[in-house]
Structure formats: structure tokens, C-alpha cells
Amino acid sequence: MGIIKTILDVLGLDSDRVYLTWISASEGPQFAEWAKRIEEDIKKKGKNPLGGLLTT
Amino acid sequence: MARGVFREYKGKGLEEGLQELWRELLERDVVQAILLPMEVEGGLVAPGLLTDAARIGESRVVSPYMPVNTARVLQMMTKTMPPSEKVAVVLCPCEARALVELVKLKQISQENLIVIAFDCPGTYAVDDYKKLLEGKEDPGELLVEKVNKGGEDAQLREACRTCPYPSAPWADIRIGFLGLDYKKRFLLEALTEKGEELITGLGMEIADVPLKEREALLDKLVAQRKKAQEQLLKEQQEQLKGPDKLLAALSSCIRCHNCMTVCPVCYCKECFFKSPTFEMEADRYLGLAHKRGATRMPSDMLLFHLTRMAHMAHACVQCGMCEEACPMGVPVFRLFKATSAKVQDLFNYEPGKDIEEEIPISAFREEELDKIQEPKI
Ligand code: SF4
Ligand code: SF4
């Protein structure tokens, strides 16, 4: 994760769009909670700036 | 201070002086073969595996040209089985550093190999080197002289101009001719037991040799190179950062995979990019197109480079072979140098420095990189 975020930061791609957390298979509610938080966060951030570009 | 000996070769050129060493190694049966740069048909240079002492005249260690990273060759050579005879491998510093990383990854076996790393003042791109060959004087000896006088050659490959390792941090033996009276002698420095055995095998005695002048010149050269490195990183940030600039730089990429094929530390036998994941049916391309409105074909240029970076940024020895092999003028070296420099800083890891040191991504620490891992949401 440290590697990926560092690379994205150097290249100027938004590293805050990469998420990592550890949730056990038995922790369903936590998983749902995280999915919700990520969704909200992404909505706040808006469209992916790479989305419409051709060379991706 | 170092442990080693000086080899005198008055009245000859440096290359000839070195050739005498190769001859002795073979004739005294200290090793049975030497892997080293040799002149090939037409005048260029390539790694050659030399067994016949009568042909040492074809070796070109001082030649400032590097067609492949020889660590790649050693991986190919020792992967299935290490050699049954002793082989001396003569490498420049970035090749020796790549070898160290590949040994750690169990991609090169050190069995029966003796690693000899020579001082490298830098190398030229193939077209520049061809032009220099047309000149009267030997471009290698000219460059050694220039750098020994404290100069730098702006025509060198960018990777070399920004390389802080003119002398290899690890090898069994180091051959030194920078910061020394190189017209008369060069240094054979033993860094390991194997290295000491090689020197004593030649009937020479190892002693403590003072190297004040050499260290002073190397320090100055390294400082100069580090400054050039800072400048390159600054330019990357100004010219290649952010989606628009980055994708403009990658836009000429044709995903030919050359940069990956020549990279010494991109070692996976089963590459993700040659896996069925990328054998997509037409409908999957259509799916992508529908989602975005349009998609480039073939796709995944950015994904290709990002994946490669994530896999080998900690081990990139910044040899620049990737950019030499790129037919499309993509600034691959700049991008890989910039990202790998930051990743290596993060882990405080210098690839190729220490053959005993663990690779950061395979070492487990219960607590590490807390700041980065903390979820921000
Ligand atoms: S960067 Fe260059 S060498 Fe690498 S895949 Fe693209 S075109 Fe080929
Ligand atoms: S990415 Fe390029 S500079 Fe880095 S090790 Fe591979 S070929 Fe050398």
C-alpha cells in the first residue's frame, strides 16, 4: 500500500482514491459500513479524472 | 583504506592492462570462463562468455556502451542450473547492483560465480556510441581521462549522468581506475572471501591500500551526480506530473513490452501481462467502450506501467535500459527513476547495496508505515 500510494503521489494521480482496510469474513456489518463510507467518499470526490481519457 | 592490490601495467592502455588480468585468470586456471564485454562484429560491444585466453584481445571492459544489463544474462544463464566451472563475471556497477537484487530473489545462483565490478564513468546511447567509434581515439579511455580530471560528459545517457554509483557498493572484487594513477595501474579490491581467494590465486598478496585521492574524486563525482539526479526529479514533477501530462507522455506507448523485457529486476516467469487476464474477448473491450464512451486500443498503457512500478520500484537499479529499448520515445526511465527513488526512500532501501539485507516487501514488521496505512475516511 505504501508503495502504491507513493507511486501515485509522484505521478500526480489521486492516491486518496485507493483504500485499504482489513476486515474478517465474519465481520459483515463492518464490511457494509466500510463500503458505505467509501461510496460517500468517492461521491464527494466526484468523477474519476482519468475516466474520459483514452490512454489509460 | 581498502584490502587489495595494485596491478601495474606501465606503457599500455587501461584496456590492455585489464586484458592481461583476464589472461592470467584463465591461464592460471583461477577461473575457467569469464563473462565480460566483448567487441562484436561491426565494432559494438556485448556480453561474451570467454574461455580461450587467446581471444582476450576482443574484450572491451572500458568501452562506454551498455547494450543490456548483464544481470539479465546471468539470470538466464544460472536459472536452470549454476555452472559446473568457475566463472568470473565482469560487471559495471548497475549490473552488479541488479545481480544483488536477483540473488536475493533467488533468480541468480552465486555458485561458482565470482563477481568483479569495475568503475564506470558512464555509457552512451547506441547511436552516440557509433558516432564516437568513428573518431580516432578510443572513446572509453577518453571518458576515463575526462572523469578522472573531474569533468563530466553531457552526452552520456541520462541514467549515467544521474547515477550516484560510479563504483559498485557490493561485489567480490572491485576494479578501480577512477581517482587513481590509471595510466600506470588499477586497483583490485577484495570485498569478500571469494574475492581474496581470486587475488591470492593470482599469486598476489593482499594488503591495506590507502585510497584518499580515489575517495575524494568519487565523493565529488557522486555529489555531482546527485545534483543531476535532483534536477531530473524536479523536471519530472514539473513536466510529467498529473493525469494530463502523464498520459501525454505515455500516449506514444505501443505496449510492446520492450521496457519490461530488458529490465533486469522485472523477473517474474509468468508475467501478468502475458496472462489470460489480458486475452480479452471483443465484448469486454466493447464493455469498456460503452462504460466510457470510447476506449483506446490496445488499452491499459497506464495500468501496464503502474503495475510494473508497483512490482519492482523498490528494486529498480536505475540503469535506464528500459528507455534505451523503447522504440517510441516514452520517458520510461524518468518515470521509473522518479517513482522508485521515492519508494526506496520510503523503505530506506538501496537496491544492490548489501547482499545480506532483506528485501523490504518480503520482510514482515508488525508495525510499519503507519501514516500511510491509516484509512483517511
Ligand atoms: S514504454 Fe516503450 S518500450 Fe515500454 S511498452 Fe511502451 S513503447 Fe514499448
Ligand atoms: S525500470 Fe528501467 S531503470 Fe529500473 S531497473 Fe528496470 S530497466 Fe533499469
Which amino acid, one-letter code, is at B78? Answer: T
Q: Contact at 8 Å (CB) between A7 and B312? A: no
What ipTM, to 2 d.p.?
Answer: 0.89
Q: Contact at 8 Å (CB) between B236 and B338? A: yes
Concatenated DSSP letters of A1-56: -HHHHHHHHHHT--GGG-------TT-HHHHHHHHHHHHHHHHHH-S-TTTT-S--
B367 pLDDT above the threshold of 80? no
Whole-number Å distance between alpha carbons of B250 and B255: 10
B153 pLDDT above the threshold of 60? yes
pLDDT at A54: 85
pLDDT at B283: 93
pLDDT at B127: 96
**pTM tops 0.80, yes or no:** yes
In whole numbers, what is the pLDDT of chain B averaged over residues?
A: 93
Percent of chain B, pLDDT > 70?
A: 96
pLDDT at B362: 72
For an interface test with A, the pick among B309, B328, B364 (most A C-beta atoms closer than 10 Å) comes out as B309
pLDDT at B214: 95
Chain B residue nearest residue A5, CA to CA = B372
* Domain ranges for chain B: 2-228, 240-362
B292 pLDDT above the threshold of 80? yes
| Nearest in space to B63 (alpha carbons), one of B43, B89, B48 | B43
- Mean pLDDT along residues B360-365: 70
| Nearest in space to B52 (alpha carbons), one of B30, B18, B27, B77 | B27
Instruction: Quick: pLDDT tens for B32-83.
Output: 999 999 999 999 999 999 999 999 999 999 999 999 999 999 999 998 889 9
- Mean pLDDT along residues B343-361: 91
B203 pLDDT above the threshold of 60? yes
| Nearest in space to B324 (alpha carbons), one of B36, B118, B128 | B128
B369 pLDDT above the threshold of 70? no
Q: Label residue B276 by pLDDT band (50, 70, 90).
A: confident
- Mean pLDDT along residues B323-341: 97
- Mean pLDDT along residues B146-159: 95
Gap from B250 CA to chain A (nearest CA, Å): 7
Cis peptide before B298 (omega within 30 of 0): yes
Look at ligand 2, atom 5, and give the residue with the nearest C-alpha: B316
Q: Does ligand 1 come within 6 angstroms of the Cβ of B303?
A: no
Residue with cell 547495496: B353
Any idea what the Cα angle at residue B18 is, between residues B150 and B205, rounded to 5°? 100
pLDDT at A50: 87
- For B267, the grid coordinates are 523477473
In ligand 1, the atom with minimum distance to the C-alpha of B329 is 2
pLDDT at B364: 62
Instruction: Quick: pLDDT tens for B204-257.
Output: 999 999 899 999 999 999 999 999 999 999 999 999 999 999 999 999 999 999
B268 pLDDT above the threshold of 90? no
Instruction: Quick: pLDDT tens for A21-49.
Output: 888 989 999 999 999 999 999 999 988 88
Q: Does ligand 1 come within 6 angstroms of the Cβ of B258?
A: yes
CB contacts of A41 in chain B (<8 Å) are: 377
